[in-house]
Amino acid sequence: DLGKMAILDVEPQALKVLRTAEFTPYVVFLAAPSLKNISDYDGNLERLVRDSDMLLKAYRHFFDLVIVNNGIEETIGKLQAAIDEVYVTPQWIPVNWVY
């Protein structure tokens, strides 16, 4: 549909399939907050931060934008601003998507 944008939550391995000329995605990674910014955390959060860091290192070259999730309101605001920007600003794409 014209004027609509699909938002997908995918496994990192899917980026290799989706990052093509057919889909021309704008990929945003929502990173876990730094543990030093959180006073009360448990082992689950430590694992989340560790996994987030690992994904960022392994797949950074697929991401157009990284947003650190320091708070839901701030994160949603940054994501909305990014979506708005994508609609009005020409984006760079790999040359092999054109030819």
Q: Could you read off the pLDDT of 10-54 as tens digits, one per residue?
A: 999 999 899 888 888 999 999 998 877 666 666 778 888 899 999
Domain containing residue 85: 12-89
In a domain, 69, yes or no: yes
In a domain, 81, yes or no: yes
What is the pTM for the complete model shown?
0.84
Mean pLDDT on 49-62: 94
% of the chain with per-residue pLDDT over 70: 93
In a domain, 2, yes or no: no
Which positions ≥6 away from 53 have C-beta within 8 Å? 32
CATH of the domain at 85: 3.40.50.300
User: How far apart, in Å, are the Cα atoms of 58 and each of 51, 52, 61?
Assistant: 11, 10, 8
